[in-house]
Amino acid sequence: MPGNCVVLLSGGLDSTTCLALAIQEHGYEPKNITALSLYYGQKHAVEVTAAENIAGYYQVNFKSLELFKDIFKSDQSSLTGSEPMPNLTYKEIAENEGVSPTYVPFRNANLLSTATALAMGLEAEVVYFGAHAEDARGWAYPDCTPEFIGAMANAIYVGTYHQVRLATPLEWMMKKDIVFIGDHLHVPFELTHSCYEGMRPACGKCPTCIERLEAFAVCELMDPLPYVDDVNESYMLRR
């Protein structure tokens, strides 16, 4: 039987599906699982509240920490700085602009380091991270790429005396695949938050809203989140 684990839980669709997979892997022993949500100065900090609600739904342990938010205050990112939010898909961002304007410099390395330190304190064996192929495409998010994940997995394993390993069950999946699996696992999508503008109803225009809406539409599912102007219905009508 697998031991304890820590799941990085942003409150979004991907990390919540990752949490559901961790619960499945750990024999439906939710108290063996700690969901970790981190505030780092992101504009959409409402996701931390969403993460807490999701952890309550699954009855897993929940921990919320503030992660040196001052180091992420950078005009390089529209998530933490003054840059405007792009109304583009991630594919368009990768094709037209390279690194995503929503990329927070080296954020995921800091999140994973914090999760690993917590895991050692809890005597947990695994840290779960919900990075997926759509974020890695075109190096829009370099800290979601297989190259980064492999390097961090090695660093975590070596740096913990081989006590903690990194699990990335979504690494080779696209968003539509994650929606499909999440639906199969009865993930409470209605509790998740994805909008980078921090809006509810969600804006329906930021990269993560667009990506999410398209994934649900491809799976012929209605996204249960409310959107401004009911754009989720228009996505379904296009199919």
Q: State pLDDT tens for residues 187-198.
A: 999 999 998 888
d(C-alpha 20, C-alpha 187), whole Å = 7
pLDDT digits (tens, 9 = 90+) for 169-188: 999 999 999 999 999 999 99
- Higher-confidence residue: 98 or 146? 146
pTM score of the predicted model = 0.87
Specify if 236 maps to a domain: no
What DSSP string runs through 173-238?
--HHHHHHHHHHTT--GGG----TT--SSB-S-SHHHHHHHHHHHHTT----S-BGGGHHHHHHHH
Counting the structural domains of the chain, the total is 1
The answer as to whether 216 is a domain residue is no
- Looking at residue 94, what is its pLDDT? 59
pLDDT tens digits for 43-59?
Answer: 657 888 999 999 999 99
Residue 95 falls inside a structural domain:
no
- Residue 203 located in a structural domain: no
Query: Is residue 228 one of the residues assigned to a domain?
Result: no
* Number of C-beta neighbours around residue 71 at 10 A: 15
| Phi, psi (deg, nearest 5) at residue 40 | -125, 20
Domain-embedded: residue 144: yes
Mean of pLDDT values over 11-38: 92
Using the predicted structure, report yes or no on whether residue 21 has a pLDDT greater than 90.
Answer: yes
Domain CATH for 178:
3.40.50.620
Is 98 inside a domain boundary?
A: no
88 pLDDT tier (thresholds 50, 70, 90): low
Q: What 3-state class would DSSP assign to 99?
A: coil
Decide if 14 is inside a domain: yes
* pLDDT of amino acid 206: 86
Query: Could you tell me the residue range of the domain that residue 66 belongs to?
Result: 5-83+104-194
